[in-house]
Structure 1
Amino acid sequence: MTAAQTRLADTIDMFYGAGDKTSEGAMAAHAYKRAVDDLDTGIGRELDAPYRTTVMEPLGKMNAYFPVVNEHITKRGKKVRLLCWLLDYDSARSRMNKLIAKPSEDPTKLPKAQQEHDDAKEVFDMLNEQLIAELPQLLDLRVPYFDPSFEAMIRMQCKFAEEGYEKMSGVQRYFDDSVRDDYASGQLDSQVEAVLQEMRELSICGGS
């Protein structure tokens, strides 16, 4: 947020500073830029390290688990496909042997397929039981895991907002009393909208 505010403050300061630097608008723009710079170099950087430690790093650690979980799910899916193929093969071989009532040309194929089936089923059962048991636990633990991070994020945002309000309050003194009164009464929004409407009516903006 401070990066966007800094760019905005620079633009406003250049815009108003291009004219009379002693005007009310120029002084207010400069005060706003100074307040934003103070926020960025002060409270913004002060909160940067704890924000990374308490919010971003825990989030990254949690996200790191899910590729491993997805890998196990994918591996289980491969075992399912292998099991289905082997079961079909086993059934087909069995029916064929009964129909033709003679030994298979390669008697080792069926025992080999059965062994592969048993091995695949063993791996599948292990992965499936692990996912069934642990995946709900992983999902349930997300909330208590993120509780401290969420609380820390809210506290830091409150701190930033408080500091920002204090800094921006100092900018108000550069505005005329009537501007503050108009803002408090809601008339300032109407004035801004009226100016915007005048801009819309200009030919360069597509007005008639």
Structure 2
Amino acid sequence: MQQFTMSKAAVKISGDLLSNPLCEQDQAFLDSMTALDTAMKRMDSFNQEKVSVEYSGVFPSLNMAVKRREQALQDYRRLQSKVEKYEEKEKTGPIMVKLHQAREELRPVREDFEAKNKQLLDEMPKFYHSRIDYFQPSFEALIRAQVVYFTEMHKIFSELTDQIDQAGMTDEQRERENEAKLNELRALSIVADD
């Protein structure tokens, strides 16, 4: 989820800019950074509410089956390790009793793991072979989600532009102004030529 990561980074950047000491010195800069921070938070909120929902529940039953199998595997390995520990010890009466108990405890856990593993081994090839049938509607859903996402982002950034662009300058005028300011900065003696 590139948009999700990007929006998290944008929120961090806008928060860092908002806490910049320049915001304390320049009210216009503070207003711009506040508007940017609000827009970035709206973008992140939109991602969390809308876009991530599109992807998180695509195959909930398959995801749950894999998680249940992983949990069963962890339980199986833990108990198998316990059995192996008793098998390595000297074969005294109490150890043999504990070994027998550990094997009895292991049996249903192993059967549970093997059943869950077999189910996935049976179903995963079927799932894999049906991928083409799923690809077309998934691709269509992805495109629709992208349209929704970028439509909302256009709205958020248009509102941000309206808030920040109070001078009503054209893009060319703003570009010339930015270039002039950059040239002033480059002319400072503390700026090294690359």
Tell me which interval the TM-score lies in, with the shorter structure as reference length. 0.3 to 0.5
Choose between structure 1 and 2 for higher RCO, CA contacts under 8 A separated by at least 6 residues. 1
TM-score, normalization by structure 1:
0.45
TM-score, normalization by structure 2:
0.48
